[in-house]
Amino acid sequence: MIGPRSNRGKCPRKLINWRQSKMFRSNSKKGQVSKDTPDTVISRSTVIKGELGFSGGLHVDGHIYGDVKVDPQEPSLFVLSEAGLVRGTVVAPNQIINGTIEGDIRAEESLALEASARINGNVYYRMLKMDMGATVNGQLIRLDDQSTPALLEGKAVKNLVDQPEVTEAANS
C-alpha cells in the first residue's frame, strides 16, 4: 500500500557515504571502489533465498539466506546494516558489517566490523577494523598472498586452517 508514510522512493536512513570512506578508497588498476551511492540496495522488507552475486556496491538492510559473492576481479563494497542478516558465506574484497552474519566472511582487501556486528563464523581478512561492541564467534584469520587465491577460487578454507605446518625440525 502506498500512502503518506510509504518508504517508496526513499533511501535507507544510514547509507554509507562511500566517497568519504577513506578505508575503502582504491586507485588501483582494478578501478575505484568509492561511490556516492551503492549500485544495489536491499531493503528491510526484502528476503532473498539462494546465492547472490554482485559487482560494484551492495547495501543490505534485509535478509539473505544463502551465499553472497562478488567477481574477485571487480572493485566492490558490501555493506550490511544493523538490521541486515546473512545466513551464508560472504565473499567480497571490501566489507562494512554492522549486522549479523551466520557464516564465514572473506575480505581480500578491507573489513570493518562496526559496533553492532555479530559474526558466527570464521573471518578471513587482509586489513581489519573492529569497533568496540562487535562480536566474532569464530576465528580471525589474516590472509597472506599465498592463501588469497585459494579462497577466491572457492577451494576449501578448512584445508588452510586445519593442516599443521611442517617444519624441518619435525622431519628430523
CA 138 to chain CA centroid, Å, is 16
Q: Provide the pLDDT confidence category of residue 114 given band limits of 50, 70 and 90.
A: very high
Taking residues 28-36, report their average pLDDT. 47
The reported pTM is 0.67
Q: pLDDT (tens digit, 9 = 90+) per residue, 37-75? A: 678 899 999 999 999 999 899 999 999 999 999 977 778
The domain segmentation of the chain, as residue ranges, is: 22-171
Query: 130, 115 in Cβ contact below 8 A?
Result: no
Give me the pLDDT at residue 84, please.
97
Cα distances (Å, whole numbers) of residue 83 to 70, 98, 134: 22, 8, 14
Altogether, the residues listed in the chain come to a count of 172
Q: Which three cell numbers stand for residue 154?
A: 572457492
pLDDT band (50, 70, 90) for residue 99:
very high
In angstroms, rounded to a whole number, what is the distance separating the alpha carbons of residues 98 and 16? 11
Percent of the chain with pLDDT strictly greater than 90: 55
Reported as a single tens digit per residue, the pLDDT across 8-17 is 444 444 444 4
Mean pLDDT, rounded, for 88-109: 96
Task: Note the pLDDT of residue 19.
Answer: 39
